[in-house]
Amino acid sequence: MPKTSARLLALLSLLQTRRDWPGALLAERLEVSPRTVRRDIDRLRELGYPIATFKGPDGGYRLDAGTELPPLLFDDEQAVALAIALQTAVTSGAGIEEAAARALNTVRQVMPARLRHRIDTLQVTAVERPAPRPAPQVGAEVIMALSAAVHSREVLRFDYAGSPPRRAEPHHLVMWGGRWYLVAWDLDREDWRTFRADRITPRIPAGPRFIPRELPGGTVAAFVAARFRGSDGSGDWPCRGEVILGLPAAVVSRYTREGVVEELGPDRCRLVLGSWSWTGLAAAVGRFDADIEVVGPAELKAAFAHLARRYADALR
């Protein structure tokens, strides 16, 4: 019996590693006869595992999705990865913190002692980046409804922050700055929009299926980054300026995420940077402890003058 139990676990582990397994290959990997494989498959089915049989020259077996979640089998690396993911779920903004904690406790209870010890020593504290206002929570049911609409490519009907019902073709569900957003083609306004998921109330039933449109920017990451840069929809910052700093380019580039840095010498570089406002841009450049030469435009020079007066007033 112990040998049979160990073989069942080995068979289950193999079935989870790939979609289709020819029966002869399973027998070879387990070092048993095809008849024994068939008996073991029947035992797993009795335990609730939905294993389908497929025919053909290499007929075999497939672990399908069923109506209930059967016991799962993880290797060491998968178990550790799952523990890390569940511990950091607090920053997802999806309102699943309690469910994630219960899932982690469930997984831990069925782990072998050696692996449970590794998980217990893995204490990850997920700390969200400070924000002016706490990011609103999004219900897991809303996340699942939006994801299903994106996957099935069905027109989404929804209420948005108390406004009249909207219709959109959902393309991507993304996270940006700790918040969930739906990237979609707004059918009423005939333009691309990013909708905050916490303001969406999906309506049932969904609309007809659609053929996905080409997303501007090439990738969803490029599209979302461009949308959050400029309020005018141009995909660029409203304010962009150029300065020369008395610092090596290698130093400046380490602290500049979206700026363009050009080396001009051992201790000089050119920096082109964007921001929401000219004053904000001047303040961003001023954080570098170095001499600054403003190349342009005039609005950036005026912003530096404005900050200089403000700082001088602060001294008095």
What is the three-state SS of 283-314? HHHHCCCCCEEEEECHHHHHHHHHHHHHHHHH
How distant is the alpha carbon of residue 153 from its chain centre?
Answer: 20
CA gap 26, 37 in Å, rounded: 7
User: For residue 111, is it left (φ>0), alpha (ψ between -120 and 50) or beta?
Assistant: beta
pLDDT given for residue 137 in this prediction: 72
pLDDT given for residue 174 in this prediction: 85
- Tens-binned pLDDT, residue by residue, of the chain (316 aa): 347 777 887 887 788 777 788 888 888 888 899 889 989 888 888 877 888 888 877 778 888 765 445 556 666 677 777 777 776 665 555 566 677 777 777 777 667 777 777 767 666 655 555 554 555 677 778 888 888 888 889 999 999 987 788 999 999 988 776 678 899 999 988 999 889 888 999 988 888 999 999 988 777 877 777 777 654 445 567 888 999 999 888 888 888 777 788 888 888 898 888 888 899 899 989 888 889 999 989 999 999 999 999 989 888 8
Identify the bridge partners of residue 202 per DSSP, sorted by sequence position.
Answer: 158
- Written as six digits, the tokens of 158 are 């929804």
Count of CA atoms in the C-beta half-sphere (13 A) of 26: 30
How distant is the alpha carbon of residue 197 from its chain centre?
Answer: 14
CB crowding 63-80: b at 16 or more within 10 Å, else e:
beeeeeeeeebbeeeebe
Measuring CA to CA, which residue among 152, 187, 157, 183 is closest to residue 170? 183
- pTM summary value: 0.50
- Output the CA torsion sign for 185, 189, 194, 200: negative
CB 177 within 8 Å of CB 229: no
pLDDT given for residue 67 in this prediction: 44
CA gap 190, 216 in Å, rounded: 14
Q: Which residue has the tokens 């969200």?
A: 128
Measuring CA to CA, which residue among 279, 272, 286, 270 is closest to residue 300? 279
pLDDT given for residue 91 in this prediction: 57
DSSP state of 199: G
Q: Give 101's contacts (C-beta < 8 A, 6+ positions apart).
A: 86
- Written as six digits, the tokens of 236 are 């660029």
